Structure 1
Amino acid sequence: MPSERPIYPFSALVGQERLKRALILNAINPRIGGVLIRGEKGTAKSTAVRGLARLLPHITVVADCPYSCPPDRPAMMCEMCVARLRRGEELPVEERPTRLVELPVAASEDRVVGSLDLEHALTEGQRRFEPGLLAQANRGLLYVDEVNLLDDHLVDVLLDAAAMGVNTVEREGISVSHPARFILVGTMNPEEGELRPQLLDRFGLVVEISGLTDIVGRVEVIERRLAYESDPDAFVVRWRQEEEALAQRIIAARALLPAVTISRGDMAAVAGLALELGVDGHRADLAILETARTHAAWSGRARLTVEDIRLAAELALPHRMRRQPFTEVKLDEARVGQILDRVKGEIGDEAPPSAEYVKKKLTA
């Protein structure tokens, strides 16, 4: 039986720096809220997602748990594992790679969230639950290709689970909940239809990508792909050192992340940026700060810089800015930098902006 072909290395991708940054930041901190990758066919969207999954560290799980519960963290366990612990049972433990779960476009709701056997519950008085894809994805990466072609209700369910870290299934007054903490990545080709703005807003980050436009970059893509197709194993070995270095850096950033502090000045700078750019709601402010602190950890720092906030804004703002029907919003990145420099310079690191400051900026 032929062996499975190795995955194309993440570090071997040419260009697409913003795409790679968004994926890595979500791998470090799933609380960012996932990433939606929008781009035309053949721009390495799926290749990047599958390559990222191979960089994620192995996890320790309860061996016979369908939700991959961590054996040493009761707060993140399912009801069954908690009950076993309370009975004094020794949980079987194993280490395995972080899962990549791919959600098919044609998947039914029961296949995604899981199904309840109502007849068994009524006749036997016991809940019987068949876990779905969200159970498999717990503590892993959930990849939804062509997310714009999914039913809106299913997209809502995915985004709710990603935000809450819990999947709840209710049927005829019977309810089952289980942990569903995962890195959510969606990809789509805008030519095949758009997501509703309400759903778009709930993705933490959105990246617009296109094919490379310089000859040197396109030639490099061709050369690397031909080398991979010719001898996948040798190609993977060639990139092993870069892959290991990237994986270790992700682990280090995860460890540093809890120590990264956000000052009131950072919060005020982000709030001022959102106000001046006319962004509705508060999701953008929170997404920018969560992304910025993650980028600081990725850079090996425990404090934010203006550059962290600027890079975060590039990923978290464009899809949330007000737009006219049938028009595309482009973020003026130079203006973002100017606003942040000015606001940080005016308000410093401690005090939030005054009401007078905000009023003056909004009416200028």
Structure 2
Amino acid sequence: MKIPFPFAAIVGQDDMKLAILLVSIDRNIGGVMVFGDRGTGKSTAVRSLAALLPPMQIVAGCRFNYPPSNVSDPCSQVCNVDDRINCHEIDTVPVPVVDLPLGATEDRVVGALDLERALTRGEKSFEPGLLARAHRGFLYIDEVNLLEDHLVDLLLDVAASGENIVEREGLSVKHPAGFVLVGSGNPEEGELRPQLLDRFGLSVEVKTPTNLADRVEILRRCDAFARDPEAFTVHWSEKNAEIRDLIVASRGRLDSIEVGDASLETMSRLCMATDADGLRGELTLMRAARAAAALAEDPRVGPDHIRRVAPMALRHRLRRDPLDESGSSARIERAIAEVLSP
């Protein structure tokens, strides 16, 4: 198994790292879309999640990542009796970070009839796909703007419902598919469909570093990792563990974070000032600001938290204004200056 680059060793790209931490603290934020130049560490940061996140408990051997407390009737819909012999045993596994290749077929994504069992034993059995593997974890799509339309529609349905429903080849299967969608892409290679873009809670832009010291440090660390991945990972393991502990602690205090009426009003005024589409922007902004407060060990959401997460929560929800040539980030910064001015 390929060793992922340690999350703690990534140089710069603070917005991208913050967005990943926020959705790791609160899955309800709804995922991250990372736009940027080629070779800026987008996929590296996402794939480092697997080694960063705290492990989770599942029913031993379960291919659908069911938690031990949730073993009930749904199992009978997707597993044969032979597959349920360990349903009362518990296993601890890494949180799944599943890659969805651009060339994946629909059967590979949603699951299909287990042909081997059908041919050798004459039984209809469901072979789970990538959505089942990603349940309770992260589904990562590199170059998501190149994803085929029919897969985009499929992901929209599953992301909205949290369930994967398969009706084909005499099978009728429904299983939970609650995952955090993470995508990366290069804007030069095509735009993302608005319906899918709206499903990402946060959107960040990454750029090629312009600081000489940062570029030199990136070269130094990449070279050290390429020469000896195991030693490099061990060197950064303590820092990675600190980030993991911070995620766990932040999750624990998330529900106690106070979001006062003044903060809620500020968020709504920001969304109105930027003319953001729908109300999903406000909900995402509230959840992201609360996670940011938990990360900072603050008891309540304040202007600093809102200011920090507003660009990534609203940037991809703005309507295009043909009379305004400035980018979405500049429009949000202007709105922040107006709404959050002393």
- Give the structure-2-normalised TM-score: 0.88
Q: Look up the match of 2:239.
A: 242
Q: Look up the match of 1:339.
A: 338
Q: Deviations over 1:124-169 (max 9, x none)?
A: xx96322110001111221111111111231232243234322222
Distance across 2 between alignment mates of 1:330 and 1:270: 16
Alignment of structure 1 residues 73-88 onto 2, 5 Å: 73=70, 78-80=74-76
1:197 counterpart = 2:219: no
1:176 counterpart = 2:166: no
The SS at the match of 2:68 is: coil
1:58 counterpart = 2:49: no
Question: In structure 1, which of residues 309, 314, 330 is the aligned counterpart of residue 311 of structure 2?
Answer: 314
Which structure: larger Rg? 1
The SS at the match of 1:72 is: helix
Give, as a single letter, the amino acid of the residue that structure 2 aligns with 1:40.
D
Contact 1:74 / 1:82 at 8 angstroms: preserved in 2?
A: no
1:269 counterpart = 2:266: yes
**Structure 1: which 5+ runs fail to align?**
346-364
Alignment of structure 1 residues 29-178 onto 2, 5 Å: 29-73=26-70, 78-80=74-76, 91-116=88-113, 128-171=125-168, 175-178=172-175
Q: Look up the match of 2:205.
A: 208
Distance across 2 between alignment mates of 1:164 and 1:127: 26
Contact 2:71 / 2:87 at 8 angstroms: preserved in 1?
A: no
Contact 2:40 / 2:208 at 8 angstroms: preserved in 1?
A: yes
TM-aligned CA deviation for residue 333 of structure 1: 5.2
Distance across 1 between alignment mates of 2:94 and 2:154: 26
Q: Look up the match of 2:250.
A: 253
**Structure 2: which 5+ runs fail to align?**
none
What's the % identity of the aligned pairs? Answer: 45
Contact 1:260 / 1:303 at 8 angstroms: preserved in 2?
A: yes
TM-aligned CA deviation for residue 337 of structure 1: 3.4
Distance across 2 between alignment mates of 1:197 and 1:100: 24
**Number of aligned positions between the proteins:** 334
The SS at the match of 1:222 is: helix
The SS at the match of 1:176 is: strand
Q: Deviations over 1:287-314 (max 9, x none)?
A: 1111111111111233211111122211
Q: Look up the match of 1:17.
A: 14
The SS at the match of 1:330 is: helix
Distance across 2 between alignment mates of 1:172 and 1:324: 48
Distance across 1 between alignment mates of 2:114 and 2:223: 50
Contact 1:69 / 1:78 at 8 angstroms: preserved in 2?
A: no
Q: Deviations over 1:70-102 (max 9, x none)?
A: 102459x83439999xx9x96121111112211
Distance across 2 between alignment mates of 1:177 and 1:52: 28
Q: Look up the match of 1:352.
A: none
